[in-house]
Structure 1
Amino acid sequence: MIAMPEPHKQPNIRIAVAGDEEGLALLDRATWSTLHAVSPPPQPPFFDERHLPRDYLVAEADGRIVGYIRLARPTPLASNAHVLQIQGLAVADEARGQGLGRALVRAAVAEARRRGARRLSLRVLGHNAPARALYASEGFAVEGVQPQEFLLDGAYVDDVLMGRTL
């Protein structure tokens, strides 16, 4: 079991480095679920030409990675360069319920602002009520719904588009 920081202490959140790959890959495999994933379970490598270390904010406790959030551009278009998108959020099972997901979302908002973004968007599965509630509580609004966009575990699931101005 991973010891989490005291509730009143902020987790250590930083930009990922290449040496985080193994820890991030382990976390990604351990937290994979059709509650939030539309792709098959992750396979190595974690980092590649589309998933660079600088795109991830990593949360650490006792020197171990216990969470991450990925920030990336939603498109390569120059006309869309002012927008960043949350394209992944994971928190270790042992670290849930202690505010780490919220801290990662807040860190992503701050990092998006630091990078000059004017908007932050995301996509979340309609059946992922905890994630939707977290995003809504942090100022994200539903901006669209793609009904029955995915077939997961034999059920059709909506793709919910959310965003907020920075």
Structure 2
Amino acid sequence: MSEPNIRTALPDDDEELGALDRATWSSLHAVTPRPQPPYRPFFDERHAPGEFLVAELDRRIVGYIRVVPATSLACNAHVRQIQGLAVADEARGHGVGRALIRAAMTEARRQGARRITLRVLGHNTPARKLYEAEGFAVEGVLPEEFLLDGKYVDDVLMGRAL
């Protein structure tokens, strides 16, 4: 598998990103219910194309990452937060997630950020290992924050300097 091309999402990517989002849905990383028809658009007033970076292989979107300001506060403008990362099943294990995380950090730096943070479910070991390999450290844990599939799951806060 070749290196993915990483670019900013475009409005025309809505349908392909929506399909990817639905295909990769799992209680391993999602706290919202499984999407059901009729499906809502991927982009909306709270999720703009410019907030997403997409990974393409052979002109097909195989992953995305969302990078946004952590809050709207001026005193927090130096922090970006990853709020969503998805990689198509067939592209997993080929460096797509790693490439997206690195591109997100580059974009955050370009925007003037000094820190980047994220939240990951405690039971999502593959994602936690990937974030740790990219320099993220656990900065806090909200014990049993979510009840998923009948089990209580921690919400793990991770971050790193840029």
**TM tier, smaller:** over 0.9
5+ residue gaps, structure 2, are none
Q: C-alpha deviations, 1:80-132, integer Å up to 9, x for none?
A: 11110000000000101111111110111111101111110000000000000
Corresponding position: 1:19 with 2:5? no
5+ residue gaps, structure 1, are none
Residue 133 of structure 1 deviates from its aligned partner by 0.3
TM-score norm. by structure 2 comes to 0.96
Q: Distance in 1 between matches of 2:33 and 2:125?
A: 21
Corresponding position: 1:40 with 2:33? yes
What CA RMSD, in Å, does the superposition of the two structures yield over aligned residues?
0.8
TM-score norm. by structure 1 comes to 0.93
The letter of the residue matching 1:129 is T
Residue 29 of structure 1 deviates from its aligned partner by 0.2
Instruction: Determine what percentage of the aligned residue pairs are the same residue.
Output: 72
Counting matched residue pairs gives 159
1:99 matched residue in structure 2: 95
Structure 1 runs of 4+ aligned residues shifted over 2 Å read none
Match of residue 110, structure 1, among 106, 111, 130: 106
Aligned partner of residue 158 in structure 1, secondary structure: strand
2:83 matched residue in structure 1: 87
Q: Distance in 1 between matches of 2:52 and 2:33?
A: 20
1:64 matched residue in structure 2: 60
